[in-house]
Copies of this chain bind each other. A is one copy, B any other.
Amino acid sequence: MEYIIRKAKKADMSKVLDLIVELAIYEKEPEAVEISVEDLVQHGFGTTSEFNCFVAEVEQKIIGIALVYTRFSTWKGIVLHLEDLIVSESMRGHGIGSALLDEVIKFAGKLGVKRVSWDVLDWNTPAIEFYEHKGADVKRDWDVVHLNEEGIKNYLAKLDACKS
């Protein structure tokens, strides 16, 4: 299968959002996606750029993305975080995910960071096997913690109640 990997443009963000939603469905949380095409354009291509995105194209159609940004590790300094690596389900098995990850690691090399990090669902065996094959270390003893919008609201309300 012939494909190209390139940096994303503003005009790609609608297709990028489609893939984000497709992944959320696979991860059993389709309602969790609250972002809009405008948000992606604003934060990726505004005065400050909050992320970098690479896309994979087959016959001028975007069928995969890798979205990255830098974080600050108190152990390693600036590191690169891979927020999403998505290949549309019907397009898997042709090395496109691998090619997108290559681009991410090349980007990390250019930045000179000491780590690339990302998160994986512990039941997503194909993904875990793929990442370990690439030399990554799946840290099964580290869990992700979220305080969501409602949690933040409740937390702040409690703080307010204690003040009065």
Interface residues of A (CB under 8 A from B): 20, 24, 29, 32-35, 39-40, 43, 50-51, 67, 69-78, 81, 83-84, 102, 105-106, 108-109, 113-123, 131, 134-149, 151-152, 154-156, 159
Contacts and interface: CB of A to CB of B under 8 A. Distances in A.
A16 to B, nearest CB: 8
Contacts of A139: 143-146
Contacts of A67: 72, 74
Closest 3 CB pairs of A and B: A142-B144, A135-B151, A116-B147
A77 B144 contact: no
A97 to B, nearest CB: 14
Nearest to A20: B74
Contacts of A50: 70, 72, 78
A111 B141 CA distance: 31
Nearest to A79: B146
B146 A144 contact: no
A105 B34 CA distance: 21
B146 A121 contact: no
Nearest to A108: B152
Nearest to A29: B75
A154 B78 CA distance: 20
Contacts of A35: 73-77
A122 B122 CA distance: 13
Contacts of A159: 102, 105-106
Contacts of A136: 145-147, 151
